[in-house]
Amino acid sequence: MKNYPLGVPMKNLRPTQMTIGFREVERKRAHWSKASAKKRIGLLHLHTVPVVIGPKTRFYITDHHHFVRALELAGAEEIAVYVLADLSKLPKDEFWTFLDNSDWCHAYNAAGKRCALSEIPKAFAKMQDDPYRSIAGELIRQGACAKNDHAFSEFLWADFLRHRIDSALVEADFDAALAKAALLATDQDASNLPGWCGARGG
């Protein structure tokens, strides 16, 4: 499949999931804004975005939603992508069914509830905030769980935490919620989650 090193307009990209962590987006936006022109080129190469070409030859991204939204907010105009598959000849419904069965889309809302594929937004600006997804990202950076290649692993962690940390705590004191999440990440209840690093030693 063809690669597009640095030249796909941001406006041509479409999301394949319903939520992102707004804190994650802001962290990436701030990092981008502080980076020099040379470092920005490096970031673009580091975050080459996997896409599937869909109906009307639009580029549907299957990963790096936070990075793409951060660049969109920062005013970036182009991004590097590589094509996983060209499904542009499929009818719309068949296209989304193909993505769903290939783990290339994630039709779950900010409450962790499965939704219709048609509810996946057409614009990154319309994606919902899932603060538990932001917590999951912080856990990975702290080493409380490991980044891995399992499809939507961060969302599995987010859903695990959603059922164990009250949303009121997340809204009122994110750091306290993160500390609780770090403890929960060592629990045996989390042992089936991708990237689990094991129970904390005594």
CATH number at residue 163: 1.10.8.10
Q: Please indicate, yes or no, whether residues 87 and 22 belong to a single structural domain of this protein.
A: yes
- C-alpha–C-alpha distance, residues 185 and 187, integer Å: 6
Q: Please indicate, yes or no, whether residues 35 and 123 belong to a single structural domain of this protein.
A: yes
Q: Please indicate, yes or no, whether residues 113 and 156 belong to a single structural domain of this protein.
A: no
Q: Please indicate, yes or no, whether residues 117 and 46 belong to a single structural domain of this protein.
A: yes
What domain range is 179 assigned to? 131-187
CATH number, domain containing residue 40: 3.90.1530.10
Q: Please indicate, yes or no, whether residues 22 and 85 belong to a single structural domain of this protein.
A: yes
Tell me the residue ranges of DSSP E strands in the chain: 3-9, 13-14, 19-20, 49-53, 59-61, 78-86, 128-129
Q: Please indicate, yes or no, whether residues 9 and 81 belong to a single structural domain of this protein.
A: yes
Q: Give the pLDDT confidence of 107-136 residue by residue, as tens digits.
A: 999 999 999 999 999 999 999 999 999 999
Number of structural domains in the chain: 2
Q: Give the pLDDT confidence of 47-67 residue by residue, as tens digits.
A: 899 999 999 999 999 999 999
Instruction: Grade residue 5 by pLDDT with cuts at 50, 70 and 90.
Output: low
Of 112, 128, 144, the last residue of a domain is 128
Ramachandran assignment for 64, one of left (phi > 0), alpha (psi -120 to 50 degrees), beta (any other): left
Q: Please indicate, yes or no, whether residues 158 and 87 belong to a single structural domain of this protein.
A: no
Length of the chain: 202
Q: Is residue 177 part of a domain?
A: yes
